[in-house]
Structure 1
Amino acid sequence: MKSSEKTPNIILITTDQQRYDAMGLNNPATDLRTPVSDQLAASGMNFTRAFTTCPVCIPARRSLLTGLHPESHGLRHYQDGLEWDPPFTLPGLLSRAGWQTELVGKLHLHPQRKRYGYDHMIRTESPNDRWDTPLQPENDWVDALKEKGISHPNDIGINGNGRIARPWDKDENLHHTSWLADRAVDFIVKYRDPDCPFFLHLSFWAPHPPLIPPRAYWDRYYRNHKHRPAISDWTPKFNGIPRGIPDDSARGPFSEEEMHDAVAGYFGLINHIDDRIRYVLTRMFEYGSPRAQEPTVIIFTTDHGEMLGDHQRWRKSLPYEGSAHIPFFISWRNMDLMKGTCDRPVCLEDVTATVLDLCGQPIPEALHGDFDSRSLAPLLRGDVISVRDELLGVFDSSGGGYYLVTGKFKYIWFARTSEEQLFDICSDPHELHDLSGDPALLNPMRQRMAICQGSCTKNSSYDIDSLQPCANRPPKALWN
């Protein structure tokens, strides 16, 4: 079975912790340069309202791998070291159907050498060497560096979750992002079976900290960007910036200087990824190569975003746009699909059903739940304009809770405090003003959340009579 329009190659490219507006096409005012991603999204289908239904690493990656919502696969918080036996995985289904399946990069599931349906894996969870820990002892990139005489890849003391940023202190070709792109090219040009289609998942760690882009990318943005965190009406007011806040603290306040440097590192990492994607696709569709004529689908997304100082918060795990709103586009070569922009809610889970549909494979019955994967292929074929009207997300940070996106609104419920927030994310995309003090807007969203809680969630304590609108005040769940 060779690659054809009914059996296309699939290249799934994922980053880690890249927010929706950290891509030029999604944010024309940004200083960040992502020309390759912009061109791919503009020539394909760009999904402008894509969300992760659980904005933290491992639950999101379970959803990506299977199409199952967190309420279906059972993990709603970060927990390493859990072996998982899903009923199916996207690479496993494709492998059984005749695709050659390859992972290059981060999977963040346990144990590390468990293949989860991939025929072959190059595993490297992070730019750190954790050989003496039980959770992430395997790192193929680190092993390659040690062969070159580099004893530890991150011996400059930059935190893997922190805001401190500086340039990578080694050769650019040895950088984690560069090495992953090189391994993807090796698979495409050397190791793939030319007699069958392939599924390649190129999974970058960046722009997740450590914020250590190669020197050229650091220099491009250091003191040369204008990005400022969004500070809302409901963000607490602080008298000065106290010393001693850990550099990986999720809660501020943060200084302008610190955030400026962090953004420079973050932007540099993304720009570097974008350039390396160009290299991978250039080799895939090399002039004169038979590969250039093969039908191929290219999907780009991420597991979750990064607060990046918005509302004095850092990291992810929250339902706000910086953390939960993600870039997501589908592009293609040598296929007849409809390009455009989709402004209806989609989510990370949708990758699974979409790929199976485009590859002519059946979608598992388990994905027919209200909030599990939906195929976006009908959108790409021009048959429909929407696959869902609303989207339910879950978060575990700050006592946990749920968020609901429907129409132009996002409704947030903090379970521990029964607090609520409501935002018009179309006219207020940075969530600067909380509308939960308006009963005419709030009550319909409460009713929708109650229905979702009843149909999807387990052991919910959602009680309309006990709800507390924040009404543009700081949520106690975040700050107490």
Structure 2
Amino acid sequence: MALPVAGQRPHVLLVMTDQQRAGYTSGSGFALDTMPFCDSLASAGSLFPNAYTTAPACVPARESLLTGRWPSAHRVTQNSNAAHAWYSKDLLQVLRSAGYRLSFTGKPHMHPGPNDFDHYAGPYFHAGGPQRDREQHHFDAWLDHLDFGVAGEPAPFPLEAQLPYRIVSDAIADLDAAAGHEGPQFLWLSFPEPHNPYQVPEPYFSMFAEEEIPERAHGPEAAQAKGGHWAWLQGLFASKRPGYDDEWRRYRANYCGMLRLLDDQVRRFVHHARAALEGDILVIFVSDHGDYTGDFGLQRKGAGLPECLVRIPLFFSGSGVSPGQVRDEFVSIADLMPTLCELVGAPLPDGVQGRSLLPLLRGAPGPEAEFGSIYAESGFGGLMYGPTERPPLHFSYDGHTIDSLNSVTQSGRSRMLRRGEHKIVLHSNDTGELYDLAADPGEVTNLIDDPAYATILHELLWRLAQWMLRLQDELPRGTYTPKTSPHNWTTSPS
């Protein structure tokens, strides 16, 4: 399918969710029909079931989307230092130079702020956002009271108080106010859900019954068997919230209800955008990272680089996208920025590490040498803590409050590579993991020392080293200019 000519660039609608685990929709093989509208968009476009985040944490992943760089390069390796992002030019600057009107509504958690957009509605976070009336005020106070936990009853507020509804209402108001604007628009909806607190109103609370929830791969015993950060985090949950794991089915049921609520609001906005905007629209749907959803007896994210945290939903639908594609290439959230650069005809800024997926969206094959493996990172440096250590945290060891991203789970460094059905994770404390995902999708049998996997281990280590060489930061650029390749496909330059 042809790219619209210059001057007729498509409107881009970027829908981003927070902490949405891949594979939790009927269209991606899940047993429950959680997101029928988004599944319909995906089936009409190009779906990437092997999409990965660069790091299973909000801000590092979002900075990768904006800069096309992995955290070790853009230097935002934790949620607290977005202001220190390192790059030459970000996605917003590229799109503005290409004539796009920039609109943002929702949860930011990134280095740009209100002054970087033509329209900015927010910030929305997990305990609330801009309040238009008393009911929204009371709802936000109730969210805060949940303390990022799991609600055992339906939210005692109407749908209109929920953050996704409010975000879409703000985005619709912006679209209507911009009626008559000439030129393409970049419309970014950033939902705080399905991140905890896990809650929904009726009818979503009862839409997916606890007894219908598919079985999980394993419980707390798996985290304890892994040891290290895993055992520490599971023990922290158990000590601060005794009996928390008994509610894992309710947790998952709420999570599925949140997905359906999101789906209805995405439908609401897409339909309005189609009616309000003249010209072609490209819809991109992505999440920043996944969620344990009870696997390992854990909630949220924090320890390790398991598939449930690093795989993310990703599809493109609409203008310039070949319909009905299910692409098996391994791709990254860092690939979105260079894809949009090529879409609008802008050169890649210096230091971009991701790859343009535009040829894939048009139906071209993805070379195995380029897309046969994928890499992700975790940790902000220093030494790794042991499972019995109790250093000072940004919250108390006493009481109910907990944050799974903290000094213990994030200290040190971990690097992951997946190729085919095999996966390796190396840690800075001289330990590692190797999994055969075909036989062990739950990642509980570590084969790193199994002599039967020595050849596979060698191959994965080689590929991991190649990825780490590829991602060495090229900034700042000096006098000499490195050789570049089309689409930034560095292992397939021709």
What is the TM-score when the length of structure 2 is the normalising length?
0.78
Contact 1:252 1:314 in 2 (8 A): no
* 3-state SS of 2:104 partner: strand
Deviations 1:65-92 (A, max 9, x none): 1211112101223325745464322122
Which residue number corresponds to residue 144 of structure 1?
132
- Shift of the 57–307 alpha-carbon distance from structure 1 to 2, 3 Å rule, reads same
Alignment of 1:55-204 (within 5 A): 55-79=56-80, 82=83, 84=85, 86-109=87-110, 113-115=113-115, 117-128=116-127, 139-140=129-130, 143-146=131-134, 150-151=137-138, 153-155=140-142, 158-204=145-191
Deviations 1:158-213 (A, max 9, x none): 54533455422212112101111112222233325531110000000000011111
Matched-pair identity in %:
24
- Work out which of the residue numbers 419, 440, 447 in structure 1 matches 2:462: 447
C-alpha RMSD over aligned residues: 3.1
Which residue number corresponds to residue 26 of structure 1?
28
CA distance in structure 2 between the partners assigned to 1:400 and 1:252 by the alignment: 28
CA distance in structure 1 between the partners assigned to 2:241 and 2:327 by the alignment: 35
Contact 1:51 1:325 in 2 (8 A): yes
> Does residue 374 of the first structure (1) align with residue 375 of the second (2)?
no
Contact 1:167 1:218 in 2 (8 A): yes
Which residue number corresponds to residue 49 of structure 1?
50
Which residue number corresponds to residue 196 of structure 2?
209
Shift of 1:269: 0.8
CA distance in structure 2 between the partners assigned to 1:82 and 1:89 by the alignment: 13
- Work out which of the residue numbers 408, 420, 431 in structure 2 matches 1:407: 420
Contact 1:251 1:312 in 2 (8 A): no
Question: Which stretch shows the higher mean deviation, 100-109 or 427-436?
Answer: 427-436
- Work out which of the residue numbers 290, 314, 320 in structure 1 matches 2:299: 314
Alignment of 1:277-356 (within 5 A): 277-286=266-275, 291=277, 294-317=279-302, 318-333=304-319, 335=320, 337-356=322-341
CA distance in structure 2 between the partners assigned to 1:202 and 1:423 by the alignment: 36
Aligned length: 426
CA distance in structure 2 between the partners assigned to 1:411 and 1:284 by the alignment: 43
Alignment of 1:415-434 (within 5 A): 415-416=428-429, 418-426=430-438, 428-434=440-446
What amino acid does structure 1 have at the position aligned with 2:376?
G
What amino acid does structure 1 have at the position aligned with 2:443?
E
CA distance in structure 1 between the partners assigned to 2:136 and 2:274 by the alignment: 34
Contact 1:337 1:380 in 2 (8 A): yes
* 3-state SS of 2:301 partner: coil
* 3-state SS of 1:344 partner: coil
Q: Which has the higher helix share?
A: 2
CA distance in structure 2 between the partners assigned to 1:151 and 1:338 by the alignment: 44
- Shift of the 156–379 alpha-carbon distance from structure 1 to 2, 3 Å rule, reads closer
Shift of 1:43: 1.1
Deviations 1:319-365 (A, max 9, x none): 101111110000005x4635411111101011111112122222213
CA distance in structure 1 between the partners assigned to 2:72 and 2:355 by the alignment: 15
Shift of 1:404: 0.8
CA distance in structure 2 between the partners assigned to 1:253 and 1:431 by the alignment: 26
* 3-state SS of 1:366 partner: coil
For structure 2, the 5+ residue unaligned runs are 227-233, 380-408, 474-494
Contact 2:48 2:315 in 1 (8 A): yes
Question: Which stretch shows the higher mean deviation, 66-75 or 446-455?
Answer: 446-455
Shift of 1:98: 0.8
CA distance in structure 1 between the partners assigned to 2:239 and 2:182 by the alignment: 49
- Shift of the 114–188 alpha-carbon distance from structure 1 to 2, 3 Å rule, reads closer
- Shift of the 250–202 alpha-carbon distance from structure 1 to 2, 3 Å rule, reads farther
CA distance in structure 1 between the partners assigned to 2:237 and 2:286 by the alignment: 25
- Work out which of the residue numbers 384, 387, 391 in structure 1 matches 2:365: 384
CA distance in structure 1 between the partners assigned to 2:253 and 2:145 by the alignment: 15
Deviations 1:240-279 (A, max 9, x none): xxxxx89967999966631011111111111100011111
What amino acid does structure 1 have at the position aligned with 2:68?
G
* 3-state SS of 1:15 partner: strand
Question: Which stretch shows the higher mean deviation, 195-204 or 257-266?
Answer: 257-266
What amino acid does structure 1 have at the position aligned with 2:317?
S
- Shift of the 358–453 alpha-carbon distance from structure 1 to 2, 3 Å rule, reads closer
Contact 2:73 2:86 in 1 (8 A): no
What is the TM-score when the length of structure 1 is the normalising length?
0.80
CA distance in structure 1 between the partners assigned to 2:360 and 2:195 by the alignment: 31
What amino acid does structure 2 have at the position aligned with 1:144?
R
CA distance in structure 1 between the partners assigned to 2:87 and 2:239 by the alignment: 31
- Shift of the 414–166 alpha-carbon distance from structure 1 to 2, 3 Å rule, reads farther
Shift of 1:450: 3.6
What amino acid does structure 1 have at the position aligned with 2:415?
Y
Deviations 1:49-70 (A, max 9, x none): 1000111011111111121111
